[in-house]
Copies of this chain bind each other. A is one copy, B any other.
Amino acid sequence: MKFLWTVKFMQSDSFVMAFVVYAGFNVTLVTVASLLCVYIGPSAAGSGIPEVKAYLNGVDTPNIFSIKTLFVKILGSIGSVAGGLIVGKEGPLVHVGSCIASILGQGGSVKHGLTCKWLRYLKNDRDRRDLVTCGAAAGVAAAFRAPVGGVLFAMEEVTSWWRGPLLWRAFFTTAVVAVVLRTGIAWCKQGHCGLAGEGGLIIFDVSGVQDNYGLNELVPVVVLGLLGGVLGSLFNQINAKIIMWSGGWLKKKGKFAKIAQAVIVALITSICSFGLPWLAKCRPCPDHLTIPGEKSCPSYGRAGNFKNFHCPDGYYNDLAGLFFNTNEDTVRNLFSKGTNGEFEFSSLFLYLGSAYSLALLTYGIAVPSGLFVPAILCGATYGRIVGMVMGMFYKNGPIDEGVYALLGAASFLGGSMRMTVSLCIILLELTNNLLLLPLIMLVLLISKTVGDCFNDGLYSLHVHIKGIPFLEAHPPRFMSHLTARDAITRPLIWFSKVERVGAIVEVLRSTNHHAFPIVDNDEQSGKPVLFGLVLRSHLLVLLKKKQFLEDRYSYAEKEQSSLVSSAEFAKPGSGKGLTIDDIELTAVEEEMFLDIHEVANTSPYTVVETMSLAKAYTLFRQLGLRHLCVVPRTSEGQPIIGLLTRHDFMSNYLLNLFPHVRQNNYTKIQAFTSSAVGSRL
C-alpha cells in the first residue's frame, strides 16, 4: 500500500513528497501502536515470549493474558510491522496464541460476560498451563507455517515442565493449525483474498539448490557459526544494557516519553530506509536474468528482487531492494537463489550495520515486536557477505549465496536465542530444503556454543531484566552450601484445624502469605503434628460461604453439612479473584469458628531442615511446587519450621543473605556426598 503510493510519487520525481508520504505512514502506524500499548495494554509491549515463559514457569503476572492485552497485541503488532520497523510478527503471534488459549481456559472472560459452562473443567493451574503451551506452539506454527517447529519451540524454549500428554496435545493443536492454514492458502490462491493471498505453505523456498557441498565448505560454516555466536551474544548484551538504561530513564519521564521514543525510532527507521538507498549506485540488471525486450529488471511477483527506485529502466538499486521493502520481502531477497552478485559489498555492510543498530533500538520500545525477523535479517546479510567472500576464493563456488544467507540467519538466531532443535526444524519448514540440514545443525551448534560462553539467551536475559522470579531447571552451585533452614526468613503463622474466624481474618489482613500450615495435636501422644497446608484462596472461599461453627469442638457433627463443591475452589481467571477486603463479617461472626481441616492438603511435600538447599530446590522445581514445608530434624518443639516459596529460592535474595557462599569453593568430596552418593539415579 504505502509502497505503491510512494513509488507513484517517486515516478513523478517528487522525492520529498514521496518521503513525506512514506515517513508519515510509518510514523502514524507506529504511533497508534505505541498509544495502544502505553495506555490500554502495557503488557503487550515487546515480544511476549519472556512473559509466556515466566507464566509457564509458575509466575502469575497479572494481565499478561487479558482480553485487553490480546486486542492491543494484535492491533499493535500490525501497526509496528506495517510501520516499517525492524520487527517481526512471530513473537507477538506466540503471545497472541497463548492469550487466546488462556482466555479459553478461563472459560471466557467473566468481566465481559463471555463464559462457557463446560470450560470450567479447565479451571486449574495445570490444564491452563498446558493450554497456554499449546497456544504458544500454535502461534509459532501460524507465524512460520511450521507446525512441527511450533511444537518443538514450545518444548525447548517456552515451557518449564514437559509431559508426554502435553507433547501430544501441542502436536494436535499445530496439526489443526497446519490444516487450517493449508485450506486458507488454497482458498486464497483462488483469488479470494486480494493482495494478501501470496505465499504457499513454504515461505522462503530455497529447495532445489545444488547440494554437493564438500569438506571445504566447512570453513565458511565454522566462520558463520563463530560470527553468529559473537554477534548474537553481543546483540543480547547491548540490548539488555539499552533496555535497563532506558527503562530507568523512562520511568521518570512517564508515558509520554515512551510514545516519543517509539515515534523517534519509527522516524529514524523511515529515514534510513528511504535515505540510505540514495548512497548506492544504479547497477545494470544482470544479463542472464533479463528477459529480452523487457525494459525493467525482472521481478518475481510484485515485490521483486530488483528495485528500480530512482534508477532509469534497465538499472536497479541494490540497497533499495534491502531497505525500501517489507521485512519479509527483504528476507526473500537475501535468501533468493541463483542471484549471485546481486548485491555489492558496500550495500550489504551498510544494511547490516543499520539493521543491527535499528533492531537493537527497536526491541524494547513500547510496541509489540518480534525478534525473529530482525535476527534473520542481520544473519542473512552477513551470511551473504561471507558467501560473496567465498565466491571470490573459489571461482564458480559450489554453493549459492542464498544458501549462505540462510546459514547466516541460522547462526544469528542460534547465537542470540540459543535454541537448537526447534530453530533447526523451523528453518527447515521455512525453506523446504532437507539437504542443508547437516549444515544448519552444525552452524547452530557452533553459534550456540560460542554464544553461551558470553551470556544467556535473549529471552532468559529479558526474564531477568523484568525481575521475574524464574526458576531454572537446576539449582545454582552455591545452594549446596546452604540448608533448607537457612532460606527460611519469614515468621511462620499456623492455624489449628478449627480456628476462630477473627484470627483468620486478622492474619489474612496483616500478611500476604499464600499458604498456612495447620498444626494439630496428635490423638495418641497429644504432641503437635503437622496436619496439612491450607491456601489463602481456599480460606477466602470458606469465609465467603460463612458456614461457621458455634464453638471449637462442634465440627465433628457438622461434617456432613459443610461439604463444599470442588468447583467453588476452582482457580479464578486472570482477574484479581477474591481478596480479604471483599469479605465483610460482623463482630458476632468474628467470634465464631471455622472448620478448615477439610480444605487442607493433608500431605504436603516436606523436607528436613538439614537438607541441602540444592536438593530442596530440585524437589521444589521438579514437582512444580508453590510451597514446601520444612520440618525439624528432631521431634522436639513445633512440628514445622517454615514454608519455602519461590522467592526464597531466588539467587539474588539468597546471595544477599549469605554473601560468603559466593566465594566458597565447591570441593569434590562435598559435591560427591551431597549428590552422587545420594539415592538419585
- Write the residues of chain A forming the contact surface with B, with a CB cutoff of 8 angstroms: 58, 124-126, 129, 147-148, 151-152, 156, 161-164, 167-168, 171-172, 174-175, 178-179, 181-183, 186, 201-202, 207, 211-212, 214-215, 420-421, 424-425, 428-429, 432, 434-435, 437-438, 441-442, 445, 448, 473, 515, 522, 524-525, 527, 529-530, 533, 535, 538, 563, 566, 569, 598-608, 610-612, 615, 618-619, 622-628, 633-636, 639, 668-669, 672-674, 676-681
Contacts and interface: CB of A to CB of B under 8 A. Distances in A.
B175 A445 contact: yes
Contacts of A215: 183
A420 B171 contact: yes
B677 A434 contact: no
Contacts of A612: 603
12 contacts: A163-B473, A168-B420, A168-B448, A178-B441, A429-B434, A525-B636, A529-B633, A533-B679, A600-B677, A601-B674, A602-B673, A618-B623
B615 A673 contact: no
A400 B552 CA distance: 78
B624 A420 contact: no
Contact of A175 (B178, B428, B441): B441
Q: How many copies does the complex hold?
A: 2
Contact of A147 (B151, B438, B639, B673): B438
A636 B527 CA distance: 9
A147 B436 CA distance: 12
What are the 10 closest A-B residue pairs judged by CB atoms, nearest first?
Answer: A635-B635, A603-B611, A175-B441, A624-B681, A178-B438, A566-B672, A627-B679, A601-B678, A171-B420, A432-B434
A442 B566 contact: no
Contacts of A676: 124, 566, 569
Contacts of A633: 522, 529
B438 A673 contact: no
A151 B201 contact: no
A343 B435 CA distance: 31
Contacts of A174: 441
B175 A421 contact: no
Contact of A212 (B151, B186, B603): B186
B623 A619 contact: yes
Contacts of A183: 215
A674 B600 CA distance: 9
B162 A524 contact: no
A79 B529 CA distance: 66
Contact of A679 (B186, B522, B625): B625
Contacts of A622: 622-623
A437 B625 contact: no
Nearest to A432: B434
Given A186-B214, A522-B634, A624 B668 contact: no
Contacts of A603: 607-608, 610-612, 615, 674
B167 A421 contact: yes
A605 B599 contact: no
A680 B171 contact: no
Contacts of A538: 677
A47 to B, nearest CB: 21
